[in-house]
Amino acid sequence: MKNYSLIILICTASLLLYSCGKKTKTNKDRAIALVEARYDNRDEDLDFDQASLDSLYTISPKAYTDSLKKGNKLDTTLALLESEIEHLSQEESDSVGLISAQLTKERYRLLDLAKTKPEFIGWKLSGVKSEDAKAKGLSFNFDKEITKIVP
């Protein structure tokens, strides 16, 4: 019985050491591996030290949130302008009407933008430098699962 306990203890310790020592691949590591595989047969060396992996959206979540906030602010401004326009002279009313029309046009643009929800479409690895040519950094787009490079 002691031998079985000792064997189980040794197996558990070995498994624990193996799993701690094994490095899991990150999304960035997988993206770099795909780029290296593509450039494997070329003489050009790539530097990934400054590379960064960013998510790509149809519209960025920040831009979406900002458009909603700006749209709500425009709604308040338009309501205020429409309530004040009755108390103005014809000339002032026409001037405020032109401003209101421009704000309304902007509001409709923001409403269209709000209909487009942010959707995750893939990844972008940017800041990859070619060691041969010290030109600007290269960038590569990937699918959602980082299984292939896409245009």
Quote the pLDDT of residue 18. 64
Q: For the chain, give the percent of residues with pLDDT over 70.
A: 83
Given this model, what pLDDT does residue 132 score? 62
**Residues near 60 by Cβ (< 8 Å), separated by ≥ 6?**
118
Instruction: Please indicate, yes or no, whether the overall pTM of this predicted structure exceeds 0.85.
Output: no
**pLDDT for the residue numbered 57:** 87
Confidence bin at 133 (pLDDT 50/70/90): low
**Strand runs (DSSP E) across the chain, as ranges?**
46-47, 52-57, 120-130, 138-142, 149-150
Rounded-to-integer distance, Cα 52 and Cα 28, Å: 8
Q: How do residues 26-84 score in pLDDT, each as one tens digit?
A: 888 888 888 888 877 776 777 788 888 888 888 888 888 888 888 888 888 888 888 87
